[in-house]
Amino acid sequence: MIATRYRRAARLCLTTAFLLCFSPFLKSQEDQPSIIRFVRNPDAAPDFKLSTIDGKPISIAAAKGKVVLLNFWATWCGPCRAETPDLVELQTKYKDQLQIIGLAVDVENTEEVKQFVESFGINYPIAVSTDETRIQYGGVAALPTSFVIDTEGRIVQKHEGLRDPVLYETEIRSLLGLSIGSVKVETFEDTGQIFLKHANRASQLPGVDMSKLTPEQKSVALHRFNAESCTCGCGYTLAQCRIYDRACSVSKAATEKIIAAVTKKTAAPGSVSPASSPNSTAPATNPNSPSAPKLPRE
């Protein structure tokens, strides 16, 4: 199952990377982001104990007190290669306050990783990620994926694909209490964007159209999305799979089937239309009749 999951992730990362790698890098102060967003009430970053490619121990706990940028990448990933010089520059600029950690994935030959580190002059620790670590961080559905961790060891943001290094620097400076000019800081609730376990908080899911459901129907559908497992082999609930793999046809078909079932059940003969009222003079009608009034839509 794990192997299947990460083969799918590899395909996803290529697609995501292709779409994101053409975002222009903004270098000037005038072009810095106007808003940055951090998770409200963030979860602790899952810790791990790995050895770097030169045999030194590395963990999240060891970097506590610093901002951590945990970067999942691969030597064969074009966008990963493109962002590496910017990460090297950030590590140099904030060497006493920032710790970038690179975790290489899908590694068959560690010698390639060592050569990559040497050729790019990487100045932050690089280790090979285990499957367990990737699962702890939500499976890592695209490369590169970077988790921004505050000085207390909590994940406050997650970025998939190639991102503007100015965004990273602004987030880092904000977490360090340094000036970020007129940039506004907003917070948001994690509804699966950071940790898939929080997918049950989501009111919307990628590729799932719930716009025609009543509030009651939507509540029932969301409950089922979080209670039923996807059968694609990912091991996630339907809600989690939609967040993790937007291209999954299995979870998409399953969620569509649930929506159809919920809608049909509500409109079954003998049910009372939400539009009905005790004072209504309209005759009761069969909801399945072509002449029956339609249920109100959101």
**Domain assignment present for 161:** yes
**Domain assignment present for 215:** yes
- What is the C-alpha separation between 203 and 205, in angstroms, rounded? 7
Match 């919307």 to its residue by tokens.
204
Cite the active site residues: 77, 80
Average pLDDT over residues 259-272: 73
Q: Check residue 3 and give its pLDDT.
A: 42
**Domain assignment present for 240:** yes
Boundary residue ending a domain (141, 162, 188): 188
Q: Is the pLDDT of residue 148 over 80?
A: yes
**Per the omega criterion (within 30 degrees of 0), is the bond before 144 cis?**
yes
Q: Check residue 266 and give its pLDDT.
A: 65
Q: Check residue 269 and give its pLDDT.
A: 55
Planar angle of CA 5, 9, 10, nearest 5 degrees:
120
**Number of structural domains found in the chain:** 2
* CATH number of the domain encompassing residue 52: 3.40.30.10
Contact 101, 71 (CB under 8 A): yes
Q: Is the pLDDT of residue 283 over 60?
A: no
How many angstroms from the chain centroid is the CA of residue 6?
15
- Estimate the share of the chain in helix, then strand, then coil, as percent rounded to the nearest 5: 40, 15, 45
237 with 175, same domain: the answer is no
Pair of tokens at residue 120: 């790019």
- What is the C-alpha separation between 188 and 174, in angstroms, rounded? 16
216 with 129, same domain: the answer is no
Q: Check residue 276 and give its pLDDT.
A: 40
171 with 201, same domain: the answer is no
Among 239, 268, 274, CA closest to 254: 239
Q: Check residue 213 and give its pLDDT.
A: 94
**Beta pairing class for 184-188 and 35-39:** parallel
Provide the sign of the torsion angle of the four alpha carbons 161, 102, 148, 88, taken in this order: negative
What is the residue-averaged pLDDT of the chain?
83
**Domain assignment present for 273:** no
114 with 212, same domain: the answer is no
74 with 219, same domain: the answer is no
Average pLDDT over residues 32-50: 94
17 with 111, same domain: the answer is yes
Average pLDDT over residues 159-187: 96
Above pLDDT 70, what percent of the chain? Answer: 79
Q: Is the pLDDT of residue 11 over 80?
A: no
137 with 17, same domain: the answer is yes
166 with 204, same domain: the answer is no
Q: Check residue 42 and give its pLDDT.
A: 97
Average pLDDT over residues 19-38: 59
pLDDT tens track for 65-85: 999 999 999 999 999 999 999
Average pLDDT over residues 174-182: 97
Q: Which domain holds residue 240?
A: 197-266
pLDDT band at 18 (very low <50, low <70, confident <90, very high): very low
- Regarding pTM above 0.85, the answer is no
What are the φ and ψ backbone dihedral angles of 162, each rounded to 5 degrees?
A: -75, 125
23 with 150, same domain: the answer is yes
Contact 298, 214 (CB under 8 A): yes
176 with 203, same domain: the answer is no
Contact 98, 91 (CB under 8 A): yes
